Structures are given as C-alpha cells and as structure tokens.
Amino acid sequence: MQLFKRGGTLTLVSVAASFLFYGCQSTESTKVEERVVPPPAEEMPADLQSETPPETNVEKPSAAELRELEEAIEAKSQPKLREPRSITEQAKLYGAKVTRLEQSKEWKLTKGDRILMLKEGSRNASLDGVKVMLDTPLKRERGNWRLGESDQKIVLNSAFGASKAGGIEAGTIVIDPGHGGVHDGAKNQSIGILEKNLALDVSLRLQGHLEANGFKVVLTRYDDRHVELKERPAIANGLKADLFVSVHFNAAGKSDPKGLETYMFTPEGNPSSSDSESGDDAVFYPVNRFDQQSFELAYAMQKTMTTRLGREDRGVKKGRWAVLKTLDCPGVLVECGFVSNDDEALLISTAGYRERVSQALADAIVAYAGVEKSE
C-alpha cells in the first residue's frame, strides 16, 4: 500500500515533470514564431514591397465618368435596332402616316393635326405651313427616299415625337440687341434707319412683355454701345440663362428680298442653309447639345411672326453665328425684316410695327416655355 503510494507519487511527479517540460517547449516555440513575424511593409526591402500606390493617391472616377461608363455598358447590352431605310420607316418610328404625292414629287407626313411636307431631292420643307430648311436634301438611297440623320433627329422628332420645349417658368432669358456702338449693322440711308437702333428698340419692348409674364430678362446692351461678339453668349452662360435670343434686321445687295427668317445654330457635320457643303467648322459646338430645343424655339418664333405680321416667310434656317456657338442653353437669331427693301424699311421705321414684332416674339417664347400667357 505504501509502495503504491510512492509509485503513485513518483508517477504524479513524473507526469508533472513531463507537463512542465512540454509546457516549456510550447512557450519556447511560441517565442520563436513571434521572432520570425515579418516586419511592417514600410520596413521591407524595396524589391519586396508592393507597387500598388496608397489609396489616397489613387485617382477615383468622377460621378459623371461613372454615369458615362454605366450608360456605355447598358447601351452595349441592348440589342441594336436596324436603322430605318426609308422615309416611311423613319415616320413610323414616331407614329406618323406617309403619303407620296406622285405628281408633285412630294411626301406628306401627318400625325394628328401636324403636317410635314418634303420634296424629293430638295432641302426645302414645310411644317404646318411654315418653311423649314433641312440640313440635307430628301434623297434616294438604295432605292428608297430617306431623310438625313440630323433631320430625322431634329425635325421629325420635333414635329411628331417628344418635344423638349417648356419647363422654364420664371426662367432667365437673355435678349441680345444686334450690333451697337461703332457697328451700325444694316442701314437704309434714304429712310434714315440703322439696324443697331431698331434692334435695341425691339429688344427693350420684348423685355417688357416677357417680364409681364414672369420671366427674368437681361439685355446684352441697354444703350448704343459696342459689345464684343464673344461677350454676348458669355453673359447668358454666366447667368445660367434658359434661353438666348439675338435680335437683328436684314439687308441684301439687291432691294428685292423681303420677309422674316429665324436661325438656329447649324448641327454638327452639316452645311449651313446658305452653303451646299459643310466646311472645316462643321464640328461640335456647345450649343449643339440643344439642337432640338433651338429648332422648336426658332420654329415657334417664325410661325408666330409670319402669322401676326403678314410678312413673307423665309423660313427656319441654320447658320454658324458667333453669338450662338458657345451658348450653354437653347438660342436663336431672328431677322425681323429687310431694311434694304424700301417698302419693308418704311414699315420697320414705325414704332407700331416694332411693337407688333416684339409682341409676336414674346408670345412665341411664352408658348415655347409652356407658361400661361398674361392678359
């Protein structure tokens, strides 16, 4: 019995010794493992360090860039629709009906009460009776008559698709009286009128009509002074204007031309209305982002003026005017009559005619903006 106890004691001592021995080994092993832990990255040799720059130095994409990337991915994932091959297919995109008038070689597109007339091989068109100059002629391609891409996008969409007008209640409108200071503009010496004075008078009258309808209106000049061309759109951009209207009167080398015309800026890659081919400047300008809005504004002005004033309709046209190209909003240039035509110049010289011009322009803007006209 005592021997067993001693054995047991010895056994317990042996077990305890073993425990202490292996415990020491485990402790020593842990210490060894701690000593071989690698140093922080910044202390590592250069050839072993990562070449990835710190997060603070990584240039992150902007929200606009992310949106563009998302749109590109979405566009790529969408099935590509076949381009319309004829005027009939183009009109069908907007739910318009097409009729070909064999005798006159014209095409009549209708939807509701809207009528667009096109002539084969011509840039001349009419929308609800108002003349419109196309970017390119209605031409035959692979056996089918077809409108050019920009005319489909701007004219067809404005006539039969979703309008981009409206939504500028109580907005800011910049009126630009043409010329001024040393620049007289067009003149009729026999009657004694200068474009710069006529344009300012119409612009001041237009300001009053628009302010009566709740708009904020700023003129690029309020008296007979010179304003650089590049400064005029800069004023509108600085004010974050909703619309820009440059007011002018016309002149020609001959006395015969007369009537009214309204210009928007020429769409990218296309010739202006006075040219047959696009030139080196047929590139994208800031105002081209508002091609459809500018067309709708120009159309509204041309229709209202010709209806109210009873003057010859010279149409909605395109031109690369310096006062329009850098605009950050829809803009037009309106020609309110020919001072080089004696009969029209006599009419223009009267305050009554200029008042009617300003009222017509104001009503067109109010209609475009989608606000209720004041009484």
CA 115 to chain centre: 26
Contacts of 48 (CB under 8 A, 6+ apart): none
Determine contact, residues 331/245, Cβ cutoff 8 Å.
yes
> pLDDT of 235-294, one tens digit each?
999 999 999 999 999 999 999 999 999 999 999 999 999 999 998 889 999 999 999 999
Give residue limits of the domains in the chain: 87-160, 172-369
Please tell me the CATH superfamily of domain 172-369, with its number.
Zn-dependent exopeptidases (3.40.630.40)
Q: Is the pLDDT of residue 41 over 80?
A: no
Query: CA quadruple 189, 190, 192, 196: dihedral positive or negative?
Result: negative
Tell me how many degrees the CA angle 125-127-129 measures, rounded to the nearest 5: 95
What phi, psi does 284 have (nearest 5°)? -75, 130
The pair of structure tokens assigned to 345 is 């110049």
pLDDT above 90: percentage of residues in the chain: 73
What phi, psi does 334 have (nearest 5°)? -110, 130
Q: Is the pLDDT of residue 300 over 70?
A: yes
According to DSSP, the residues that pair with 108 across neighbouring strands are: 99, 117
Q: Which residue has the higher pLDDT, 170 or 14?
A: 170
Instruction: Note the pLDDT of residue 28.
Output: 42
The candidate with the shortest Cα–Cα distance to 239, out of 218, 214, 213, is 218
Determine contact, residues 172/178, Cβ cutoff 8 Å.
no
The candidate with the shortest Cα–Cα distance to 136, out of 272, 265, 284, 287, is 272
CATH code, residues 87-160: 3.30.457.10
Task: Give the distance between the most distant pair of CA atoms in the chain.
Answer: 149
Q: Is the pLDDT of residue 2 over 90?
A: no
Instruction: Note the pLDDT of residue 18.
Output: 45
Mean per-residue pLDDT, 24-41: 45
Q: Locate tokens 């004219």: which residue? A: 155
d(C-alpha 51, C-alpha 346), whole Å: 79
What's the one-letter identity of residue 319? G
Q: Is the pLDDT of residue 301 over 80?
A: yes
d(C-alpha 351, C-alpha 343), whole Å: 15
Q: Locate tokens 């996008």: which residue? A: 153
Lowest-confidence segment of 39-43, 107-111, 347-351, 363-367 by average pLDDT? 39-43
| pLDDT interval class at 317 (50, 70, 90) | very high
| pLDDT interval class at 169 (50, 70, 90) | confident
Strands (E), 151-192: 172-177, 187-188
pLDDT above 70: percentage of residues in the chain: 78
Instruction: Note the pLDDT of residue 279.
Output: 87
Instruction: Note the pLDDT of residue 73.
Output: 72
One DSSP character per residue, 181-241 reads TTB--SEETTTTEEHHHHHHHHHHHHHHHHHHTT-EEEES-SSS----TTHHHHHHHHTT-
The whole-chain average pLDDT of the chain stands at 86
Lowest-confidence segment of 59-68, 239-248, 290-299 by average pLDDT? 59-68
The pair of structure tokens assigned to 136 is 């390119």
> pLDDT of 83-139, one tens digit each?
898 999 999 999 999 999 999 999 999 999 999 999 999 999 999 999 999 999 999
d(C-alpha 45, C-alpha 38), whole Å: 11
The candidate with the shortest Cα–Cα distance to 247, out of 211, 172, 197, is 197
CA dihedral 246, 247, 249, 253 (to 10 degrees): 0
Q: How far is CA 365 from CA 179, 214, 251, 302, 371, in A?
A: 22, 12, 25, 11, 9
